[in-house]
Amino acid sequence: MSSPGSRLAGTQILTGTVVRGAIEDMAATVRQFFSLDAVQLEPGDYRCEIDFVATGSTFLYRENYPRRTHLRGELLGDRFGVAIPLAGLAVRFAGEEMNSACIASAMTGEEMDLFVEAGVRQAVVLVDREKLHRRAEAGGLPAHVLRALDCRRRRMPLDARSEAVARFRRSLVGLLNSAAQGDLRLEGPQFEEFVMNSILSAVDVSEAPVGLPPACVLVRRATEMDDAASTGLRITALCGLLRVSHSTLEASFKSVTRLTPQVFLRLRRLNRARTALLAADPWQESVTDVATQMGFTELGRFAVRYRELFGESPSETLRRGPCGSVSVGTLGA
């Protein structure tokens, strides 16, 4: 069976639906396009569906987030991507709030950092970065817009024209609905041209480069330090290593993640434990082995918190593999 990341001939259009059964399917679904670390930040079922339309170099999909989620990773394959909001609450990308006038964008070589509230729905578009840049140059777009599409840019969120984003959103939803109904009447080159032209028409980039907010940098450094520690770090130790006060660290985490550092880092370790349990051989490793490796010393409390977050016990996760399914159809010749 084909997959969303399959290479297609330029005139072919691939459409279909991917079912995510759990948080671990987030990264597995888009592994052809992203190197992604996904963390579930609140308890509950994570089942959802993704509709997609794709050609050889352009990919469009509509996704929803049933629970609060933190995503960190990198776009692969010399691509450029944008996310267009469809519905839901706030998305924080690279430390900034996204909306119809400021949209998330990423290209290969940049580290993405994304906090998504439960109920968010968005359309994501991925294109060939060099093709997009050449089209922008050929269209005579201003130098500051070209810099926003260049791999040396300093700011990932894109300032955008709200009215152009609204038109783009309506068109994308129309395409995805037509594909879901088996009524998409487009050839590959038409689809690619439409997507790239829509991205360029929406861009309205500020001249002033902006770096990551200090709070976002502090949260990232704290997370990396905690990940690197064999058994996790106490908050007092983390503050000492970062040379910040407890109040500064807590205020930074609350502004970026809306959680305290203790809660966020514990949830992250629980997600890492889930990943390790799914990859473990149940005949060779135990839940105790994995929990201890992730810094959980009170195994009873670990099991309770794990079940609260993922809806199953650690031992149940250990005994099974990841779940998910893909339904695919191809249009065009």
Give CA–CA dist 262/276, Å, rounded.
21
Tens digits of residue pLDDT in 5-42 = 444 445 678 888 888 888 888 888 888 889 989 999 99
Tens digits of residue pLDDT in 59-84 = 999 999 999 999 999 999 999 999 99
DSSP 8-state secondary structure symbol assigned to residue 192: H
Tens digits of residue pLDDT in 230-266 = 677 889 988 998 888 999 999 989 888 889 999 999 9
Q: Give the percent of the chain with pLDDT over 70.
A: 89
96-109 average pLDDT score: 88
Angle at 94 between CA 88 and CA 99, to 5 degrees: 35
Tell me if 148 sits within 8 A of 209, measured CB to CB: no
pLDDT of residue 229: 81
pLDDT of residue 205: 55
pLDDT of residue 315: 92
pLDDT of residue 18: 87
128-152 average pLDDT score: 85
Tens digits of residue pLDDT in 183-242 = 888 788 889 988 998 888 888 655 444 455 678 888 888 998 888 886 778 899 889 988
pLDDT, the chain, mean: 84
Give CA–CA dist 64/116, Å, rounded.
10
In degrees rounded to 5, what are phi and psi of residue 216?
-65, -40
Domain boundaries, the chain: 13-211+324-331, 213-258
pLDDT of residue 7: 44
Residue 318, number of CB atoms within 10 A of its CB: 20
0.85 exceeded by the pTM? Answer: no
Angle at 79 between CA 3 and CA 227, to 5 degrees: 85
pLDDT of residue 212: 56
111-123 average pLDDT score: 91
- Radius of gyration for the chain, computed over Cα atoms and rounded to the nearest angstrom: 21
pLDDT of residue 209: 43
| Amino acid residing at 215 | A
pLDDT of residue 329: 47
pLDDT of residue 147: 83
Tens digits of residue pLDDT in 269-285 = 999 999 899 888 888 88
